[in-house]
Amino acid sequence: MESQRVSGHAAGRRSGLAAVPGPAAAQWWMPVSLGLLGFCAAFLGSWIPSFWDDEIATISAAGRSPGELLLLLQSVDAVHGLYYLIMHFWTSVFGFSEISMRMPSAFAVGLACAGTALIGRKLASESLGFAAGLVLAVLPRMVWAGTEARQSAFTALLAVALTLLLLRAWESNRILDWVLYALCAVVGVWMFMFFGLAVAAHAAAAVILRRRVLATLVACSAAGACVLPFLIYALGQKAQVDWIQNRSLLQNLMTAAVKQYFYGDDRPTGNMPPQWVLAFVVLLGVVEIALLAWGLWSARHSTALRPLLVLCLAGVAVPVAGLLLVSVVAQPVYVARYLTFTAPAFALLVGLGISRLPAKHTWLRPMVVAGVICCSLVPQLTLKSLVNEPADTERRIAALLDQQAPQPAAMVFGEPYLRDMVLAYPERFDGIQDLSLEETPAESGTLWGLDAPVTAAELSGRGEVLFVGLGNAAPSDLSAFTAAQCRETGNRPFQRLVLISFTCS
């Protein structure tokens, strides 16, 4: 491996970008600067978008005691349990604002960018590490991961840490390093069950490269044995992903081609980005795939770069192929953000293409880098809700009700999960009684609480009552309002929900 590193650095010098000279401390300027860039790209503007339903699930879970959280995980969201526990301790100190909830993800993105740069430098050259870290810092998939209160960014960070630990174990072959690798793999799967595909990718890479094959397989198997009970338990809650659309393989591939890396927004808003934004998304995809292809072609005969090629190709292909296969054969599970942990490997392949551009054309590399950054930043206008924000986000609806005159005295929810706006922005609903709530989320061990049918007696004499129902769905049962002789005073349909105002005298 040491000879490979030397060869890689020599290749970097031949391409026109030598490693940074100076004392060991100076070697950290590159990963640290890229880490700060990645954090800023994710964090800046992260307070602009409204919380959305998956983030509100995090709020619902993180606000409970560990005992209440354990009760929740027995019925739903066991795959998110470790992240919920981390966020419980975080929010107990920093609260539940958009900035507070999303900042840990932004930190994870920054660290992932720094770690990716270290992988690139270790396996190839300073220039490749810098290019890969830069690509990852502005990649829409990673920016979105750092702008939402979910664990996607943490899975990317753990994938980077796992790769660094694997490289260290391959070099040293010490038992301690293999134990650390296995422990990181266990934490990664506990963070999100599909992280097991990252571990499988490492096993495949070890076999292809013939690098410490037995030790790698033993470490991966040990990690698998440790997480097997968790995986079996989590698979028992597969009904919680019934919402994922059943698509053909071709439809999944088309979705992956756009959303896996080049457009990170996974909110179920139904809002398509403006055409000019989509044009930049397509251009970004074309440019980065072309760079990836060029990097693979130009390095196809390089022995020094073979570990990088195999690790990164396996790190992308094995998880994507695995999840797509399960989606087509067994149950729909492919969602782009579930494979966020493959983004660092993808960025390394794109960075390879950038670093292998002909050095004799001094203008080419800066122009390509500038083009990648520009094309990556445009989709973030929608990711950060600077353009094309849906009209029925939870924050907008909450603000709308807060401004309503007269303000509702009570609310009735047609479905428990429509209560997400109350969980996300409780201050907007002070003094408004929830007539449909039978048990709170914490009491019921659910994310949204349990509802009971509202009776005419409960509605009678309430004054202004707001009914929140599903938009674009079958009409809700409003017989209790009719029986209480409530008068409909307003009907505001949105794509996701409908607000119907009643006066119940």
Do residue 441 and residue 484 come from a single domain? yes
CB-CB contact of 220 with 233 (8 Å): no
Do residue 331 and residue 425 come from a single domain? no
Do residue 379 and residue 406 come from a single domain? no
Do residue 112 and residue 239 come from a single domain? yes
CA geometry: angle 274, 275, 278, nearest 5 deg: 90
SS3 at position 287: helix
Question: Is 61 inside any structural domain?
Answer: no
Question: Is 59 inside any structural domain?
Answer: no
Do residue 273 and residue 408 come from a single domain? no
Do residue 151 and residue 28 come from a single domain? yes
Beta-carbon neighbour count of residue 493 at 10 Å?
13
Amino acid in the structure at residue 212 = R
Do residue 348 and residue 430 come from a single domain? no
- Collect all residues with Cβ–Cβ distance below 8 Å to 247 and sequence separation of at least 6: 255, 327, 332, 334
Distances (CA, A) of 250 to 94, 257, 335, 421: 44, 10, 14, 36
Do residue 348 and residue 460 come from a single domain? no
Q: How do 433-434 and 410-413 pair as beta strands?
A: parallel
Question: Is 72 inside any structural domain?
Answer: no
Question: Is 258 inside any structural domain?
Answer: yes
Give the count of domains, the chain: 2
SS3 at position 362: coil
Q: Which residue in 338, 63, 363 sits closest to 192, CA to CA?
A: 338
- Give the largest Cα separation in the chain, rounded: 84
* Domain termination residue (choose one: 350, 383, 416): 383
Residue 24: per-residue pLDDT: 59
SS3 at position 473: coil
* Domain termination residue (choose one: 363, 383, 403): 383
Residue 4: per-residue pLDDT: 42
Which tokens sit at 315?
Answer: 């790190």
DSSP-H helix ranges across 304-412: 306-329, 343-355, 364-377, 380-383, 394-403
Question: Is 334 inside any structural domain?
Answer: yes
Backbone angles phi, psi at 451, to 5 degrees: -105, 155
Residue 20: per-residue pLDDT: 43
* Domain termination residue (choose one: 336, 364, 383): 383
Do residue 283 and residue 158 come from a single domain? yes
CB-CB contact of 365 with 357 (8 Å): yes
CB-CB contact of 106 with 147 (8 Å): yes
Do residue 406 and residue 464 come from a single domain? yes
Amino acid in the structure at residue 142 = M
Burial 183-203 (b: 16+ CB within 10 A, else e): ebbbbbbbbbbbbbbbbbbbb
Dist. CA 339–CA 321, nearest whole Å: 11
In the chain, which residues have pLDDT < 70? 1-26, 268-271
Question: Is 58 inside any structural domain?
Answer: no
Dist. CA 256–CA 266, nearest whole Å: 12
Dihedral angle, C-alpha 365, 366, 371, 373, nearest 10 °: 110
Mean pLDDT score of the chain? 91
Distances (CA, A) of 57 to 113, 327, 389, 400: 27, 24, 21, 22
Which tokens sit at 455?
Answer: 């009776």
Do residue 162 and residue 245 come from a single domain? yes
- Domain span including residue 38: 2-49+94-383
Residue 17: per-residue pLDDT: 41
Residue 361: per-residue pLDDT: 84
- Collect all residues with Cβ–Cβ distance below 8 Å to 69 and sequence separation of at least 6: 61, 81, 84, 85, 88
Question: Is 54 inside any structural domain?
Answer: no
Residue 258: per-residue pLDDT: 87
DSSP-H helix ranges across 80-195: 81-94, 98-123, 126-138, 140-145, 152-172, 175-191
Do residue 346 and residue 444 come from a single domain? no
Question: Is 323 inside any structural domain?
Answer: yes
